[in-house]
Structures are given as structure tokens and as C-alpha cells.
Amino acid sequence: MRWLHRGRWHPLIPEWWRTATMLVVPITPIIVGADYLFGHGDAPARLSAVEKSISLSALGVILIASGVITVIGFVGRWRMLTIGGLHWSAAVMSTIGIGIATAPGMGGGFRVPWLYMAIAIASWTSAFGYFMQGDPDDDADRPE
């Protein structure tokens, strides 16, 4: 396998594109929350048990709030607020995804639950990564 070697490229996204990519994570719950809040006149017959367990308006507000908290944390550079918003979003999105995946007769295979779970996983891994960075203020007393 001498012909197979690792390249020198480091997959680091430039800052502007990284910002745009990372904004997908908090904006998705905002959009999904808006759909729950405004997208349904009468509750459709095809809801999972998770979606039926809480009013669609409340579910929409919860999702919008988690996304807005995350965006505020990003913009304000408040690490713990960002982590909290990401965790909250991940918990709700994964719960909805599991609810859809386990609901009988929902149809659509696994692609819809996977989309919810993908955002949840991205949110949780981002939150964990930000937590592992530590607080920059903790480094203020360290000698260089």
C-alpha cells in the first residue's frame, strides 16, 4: 500500500464559511419550530406520540427558543449560553426524531427521523466541543 498516502490538506473551513455552516445548527430548530407554531391549522392525523404529547404551539416555541438562545450565545460569544441552547435543541430534536421513527404508520422510511437526529447529533457534538474548549478567561492567569 505504498501508493496510498495521506495528503497534506487539513479540512479546516475558512471563517466565513464555517460561520455559515455552524448557523445551520441553530437555525434549523427555529425553522422547524416556526412550522410547528404556524404550519398546521388543525393538528394533522399523522403525528407521532411525542408530537401529540404536547401542543404543537408549545413545541414550536420550545424549538424557536432553543435556536434563538444558541444564536444569541454565538453572537455574544457566551460559551455556556451557546452550549445550553445547543443541548436544549438536541434534546428536543432527538426526541421528535425518535418519536417519528417509532410511530407506526408514519411512512417515509428513516430519512425524516434521520434529519432530526442529524441536527441533534450536530448540536450535541458542537456543545461538547465548545465545552471541551474551556473558558478563555481561565487561561488569563497562565504564563505563556
Select the more confidently predicted residue: 22 or 2. Answer: 22
Q: C-alpha dihedral over 125, 86, 81, 68, to 10 degrees?
A: 150
Question: Does residue 109 belong to any structural domain of this protein?
Answer: yes
What's the pLDDT score for residue 131? 93
pLDDT at position 142 over 50: no
Of 55, 131, 58, nearest in space to 66 by CA: 58
Which residue matches cell numbers 487539513? Answer: 10
How large a percentage of the chain has pLDDT more than 90? 53
Per-residue pLDDT tens digits for 43-76:
566 788 888 888 889 999 999 999 999 999 999 9
Question: Does residue 9 belong to any structural domain of this protein?
Answer: no
Of 65, 56, 60, nearest in space to 86 by CA: 65
Question: Does residue 3 belong to any structural domain of this protein?
Answer: no
User: In which domain, by residue range, is 30 found?
Assistant: 15-41+48-132
Please indicate, yes or no, whether the overall pTM of this predicted structure exceeds 0.75.
yes
Question: Does residue 5 belong to any structural domain of this protein?
Answer: no
Select the more confidently predicted residue: 42 or 79. Answer: 79
d(CA 109, CA 100): 10
What's the pLDDT score for residue 141? 47
Query: ∠ at Cα 48 (42, 53), nearest 5°?
Result: 75
Give the count of domains, the chain.
1
Per-residue pLDDT tens digits for 71-83:
999 999 999 999 9
